[in-house]
């Protein structure tokens, strides 16, 4: 009986989690998801807050590698107009430490370029 309840709980939890997590199938879908999440993070989230706090404004073009759990596996700063290297490093670190709420097939990773604009 207990086993059955536990099994039911696990199934329900999985259903809830999977219902919340985006499951993009292609590079384009993943890139769009990440682009929207970054735009939102700048507009109303932590990234915008950090930028205001440290006075960082301008653009940063980054090449991101996203792993199957939505983590930023690697980040390369292609270009940036953010004045001040410490500020640039902080923005870069913040993006590197982001975890996007998406699930890719196990072992899958996507690499694409994204430009972040900090007003």
Q: Which residues contact 76 (CB under 8 A, 6 or more apart)?
A: 62, 63
Q: Does 103 bind other proteins (CB under 8 A)?
A: no
Q: Does 85 bind other proteins (CB under 8 A)?
A: yes
Q: What is the 3-state secondary structure (H, E, C) of 75-117?
A: EEEEEECCCCHHHHHHHHHHHHCCECCECCCCCCCEEEEEEEE
Task: Name which of residues 48 to 67 contact other proteins (CB under 8 A).
Answer: 63, 65
Q: Does 99 bind other proteins (CB under 8 A)?
A: no
For other proteins, the closer CB: 13 or 76: 76
Binding piece for other proteins, criterion CB under 8 A, among 9-17, 28-36, 40-48, 72-80: 72-80
Q: Does 107 bind other proteins (CB under 8 A)?
A: no
Would you tell me how many other CB atoms lie within 10 Å of the CB of residue 100?
22
Helix (H) or strand (E) holding 72: strand 72-80
What residues make contact with other proteins under the rule CB under 8 A?
63, 65, 71-77, 85-86, 88-89, 92-93, 96-97, 111
């Amino acid at each position: 009986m207990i086993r059955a309840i536990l099994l039911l709980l696990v199934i329900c939890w999985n259903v809830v989690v999977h219902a919340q997590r985006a499951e993009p199938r292609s590079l384009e879908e993943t890139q769009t998801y990440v682009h929207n999440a970054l735009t939102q993070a700048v507009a109303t989230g932590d990234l915008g807050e950090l930028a205001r706090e440290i006075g960082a404004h301008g653009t940063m073009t980054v090449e991101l590698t996203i792993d199957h759990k939505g983590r930023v596996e690697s980040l390369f700063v292609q270009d940036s107009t953010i004045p001040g290297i410490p500020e640039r490093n902080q923005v870069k670190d913040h993006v590197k430490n982001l975890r996007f709420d998406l699930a890719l097939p196990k072992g899958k990773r996507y690499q694409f370029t994204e430009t972040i604009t900090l007003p």
